Amino acid sequence: MKSSRTNIGNAQGSFLGIRSSPSGFVWQVASENERVLDDPGPRSWFLAFGASSLDFELRVYVGNLDDRLQTLHELNVAIDRLVAEHDIEIAFPQLDLHVRDLPDGAASARPCA
């Protein structure tokens, strides 16, 4: 028996359904995967408030070490499909750039496309 985990950062204010384990979307994806063991069953945790996300971890157990990567792949593909179907936003790092001072003549420079 080997554990496998995937980390998910969903956008703040975007409900991923992982918070209430048995009724959550992600828990459902894990429990429907034939490689994921029922005992111990899938578990999920709300780990942290990220800079621009709510960070969760989904942990599952598989019977064979050889199934670990394939299971992780299948779970990630299913989660990606699920979030697209339900218009759930997965967070990714974003930065805003604020320019305080422009050199002389920069304001008339060609804008970026």
pLDDT in tens, 67-97: 999 999 999 999 888 878 877 777 777 777 7
Instruction: Report the alpha-carbon distance of residue 7 to residue 97 in Å, rounded.
Output: 28
Residue 30 has pLDDT above 80, yes or no: yes
Closest residue by Cα to residue 10 from 43, 45, 50, 59: 50
In this structure, whether the domain defined by 2-85 belongs to CATH 2.40.50.140 is answered with no
Instruction: Report the alpha-carbon distance of residue 39 to residue 36 in Å, rounded.
Output: 9
Instruction: Say if CB 24 and CB 32 are below 8 A apart.
Output: no
Sign of the alpha-carbon torsion through 26, 45, 17, 86: negative
Closest residue by Cα to residue 26 from 65, 101, 108, 82: 82
Q: Model pTM? A: 0.68
Confidence category of residue 16, pLDDT binned at 50, 70, 90: low
Residue 106 has pLDDT above 50, yes or no: yes
